[in-house]
Structure 1
Amino acid sequence: MEEVVATRYVTPLREGGSLPGIVEADDLGTYVMKFTGAGQGRKTLVAEVICGELGRRLGLRIPELVTIQLDPVIGLAEPDQEVQELLKASAGLNLGMDYLPGSLGFDPLAYEVGPEEAGRIVWFDALINNVDRSWRNPNMLVWHGDCWLIDHGATMIWHHNWPGAEASAAKPYNASDHVLAPFGPDIAAAAAELAPLVTEELLTEVAAEVPDAWLADEPGFGTTDELRRAYVAPLLSRAAGIHERVVMEAPTRTRPSQAPGWLTEHLAPWPHPTKQDRAAQAHTGPATEEAGR
């Protein structure tokens, strides 16, 4: 990955639990920056690199990743004390994801995905055991009419407990709540296309992208190269047959679309509500409430 230097802290993104921020860098690029000092720790950044770079090499749309050198002094003008503390705790090398200006959060009621693309994304999420692409939190953006995948920190949960990694990686993947489950994902076709591409050589190449600083001092491993090999093994074995262990049942529950009202009205069955309908409802609402008292 390319390494850049942060030159300006623009604003925090409070939608994310780790409080990522938008920064500008010396390559004139703008990035969503994720910090080593965040509460989730550096393993989140390791997962972002391995899964993000793997997905990009498999042809999925994932924004370009870079490493970003941070001098906390660039955030001195930030008034939020929490942000100040996060920047101070994250001096050095952090992770950046290319910022997609004008992108919209994915909503399955506002954007349709074909079975082929849905299958490729669900298969990839099954491979990396992504538990954070559900209807609750899709972690997908729509940019220039295409779906882009973001936020892969909550993947490969086995790397939080290496002694149980082999058993954890052998478990099925429950896609019942996956945001793309309603689109009939063709997982078998995706496996036939993508599984042969997940080789030991490819995974070794991807693991090599992780900076040594984020892998150092891991209990049970003598060197960072030994730890990198530990990341390769579960993914390699999982790629061969995970498509046969994807569970697709009824979702836990439904929820209304988060799309704006002007859009959901035009996605609803005919007849669409008219301005006159809304005006009449607004006019009669208070009287109806008063009559019911």
Structure 2
Amino acid sequence: MLTEVTANRYITPLREGGSLPGLVEADGGRGTFGTYVMKFTGAGQGRKTLVAEVICGTLARRLGLRVPRLVGIRLDPVLGLGEPDSEVQDLLKSSGGLNLGMEYLPGAIGFDSLAYRVDPFEAGRVVWFDALVGNVDRSWRNPNLLVWRGDLWLIDHGATMIWHHNWPAAGAAAARPYDASDHALAPFGPDIATAAAELAPRVTEELLTEVVADVPDEWLTGEAGFGSADEVRRAYVSALLPRAASVHERITLGAPAEHPRPPAPGWFTSGASSPNASARKGEAA
């Protein structure tokens, strides 16, 4: 299960994220005090976004990809009382209980394909993983990649496994194609074959069972069509396991659409030195 910490200070909203994540300080004792990017159960996307973050983030880390460490964050809604923004205050008030935190990467910058080169092997591993989980949100428009201490880090996996929004259709997920033509790493010639040979054999039923065990029961209980949280976990394993074996055969890497260089986000170009600007510079959501 996820390590749990308790939020003790809400620092600032990170408005570049569509779900309005926030930067918080939290403490779980025994050296677990730290700063985290928190995603809320009360956000519009709901708890399935957090389930996707846990499953995909944990699986990616187990496969050797860099993803910020994940924790569960207990939130007392009273922390929202001092927030001047009514939208943020409402979000905090509606998210009491267990939320998701991602370790804050201070000084990280957004990935720019013109400034940071990725070798075909690493690009292939990321593209293969995104194809496995059906990530529709790693395009040049919104890479959801950070560069921190010279390394590439993957963030924001809420828009994955879209079949879990319609479980009766999940059985067909294994055979779905994945068009990576507009993937953020497509220009680097991803070596899909090598990635598949390395990663596919590692995605076993045992590994997936361990990964889905990290999802808290309270985010799975009450799922329509299932009698228990463990039944939902088994459904995720059943959907992902057969896809891993052959997804590389259904990845398309056509010519990417012509597009302008995406503008750098405001928090990167402002040059401000305030705490809020520094916090946004390391956004991991």
Q: What's the TM-score once normalised by structure 2's chain length?
A: 0.90
1:64 aligns with 2:69: yes
Which residue in the other structure is 2:147 paired with?
142
Tell whether the 8 Å contact from 1:66 to 1:95 is kept in structure 2 after alignment.
yes
Write the deviation string for residues 106-134 of structure 1: whole angstroms up to 9, x where unpaired. 01001000000000000000001100000
Residue identity (%): 75
Paired letter, 1:147:
L
Question: Relative CO higher for 1 or 2, CA cutoff 8 Å, sep ≥ 6?
Answer: 2
1:257: Cα distance to partner?
4.5
Q: Tell me how far apart the structure 2 counterparts of residues 259 and 18 of structure 1 sit (CA, whole Å).
A: 20
Which residue in the other structure is 2:25 paired with?
24
Alignment of 1:76-115 (within 5 A): 76-115=81-120
Tell whether the 8 Å contact from 1:110 to 1:259 is kept in structure 2 after alignment.
no
Which residue in the other structure is 1:214 paired with?
219
Write the deviation string for residues 40-79 of structure 1: whole angstroms up to 9, x where unpaired. 0000000000000000000000000000000011122110
Unpaired segments ≥5 residues, structure 1: 261-293
Alignment of 1:114-129 (within 5 A): 114-129=119-134
1:229 aligns with 2:234: yes
Which residue in the other structure is 1:45 paired with?
50
Unpaired segments ≥5 residues, structure 2: 266-285
Q: Tell me how far apart the structure 2 counterparts of residues 259 and 72 of structure 1 sit (CA, whole Å).
A: 34
Q: Tell me how far apart the structure 2 counterparts of residues 17 and 147 of structure 1 sit (CA, whole Å).
A: 22
Paired letter, 1:20:
P
Tell whether the 8 Å contact from 1:116 to 1:185 is kept in structure 2 after alignment.
yes
What RMSD over aligned residues (CA atoms) do the two structures have, in Å? 1.0
- Number of corresponding residues: 260
Q: In terms of Rg, which structure is larger? A: 1
Q: What is the DSSP-based 3-state SS (H/G/I as helix, E as strand, rest coil) of the residue aligned with 1:213?
A: helix
Tell whether the 8 Å contact from 2:174 to 2:247 is kept in structure 1 after alignment.
no
Q: What's the TM-score once normalised by structure 1's chain length?
A: 0.87
Tell whether the 8 Å contact from 1:8 to 1:75 is kept in structure 2 after alignment.
no
Paired letter, 2:66:
R
Which residue in the other structure is 2:276 paired with?
none
1:253: Cα distance to partner?
3.0
Q: Tell me how far apart the structure 2 counterparts of residues 212 and 195 of structure 1 sit (CA, whole Å).
A: 28
1:234: Cα distance to partner?
1.3
Q: Tell me how far apart the structure 1 counterparts of residues 207 and 14 of structure 2 sit (CA, whole Å).
A: 33
Tell whether the 8 Å contact from 2:140 to 2:262 is kept in structure 1 after alignment.
no
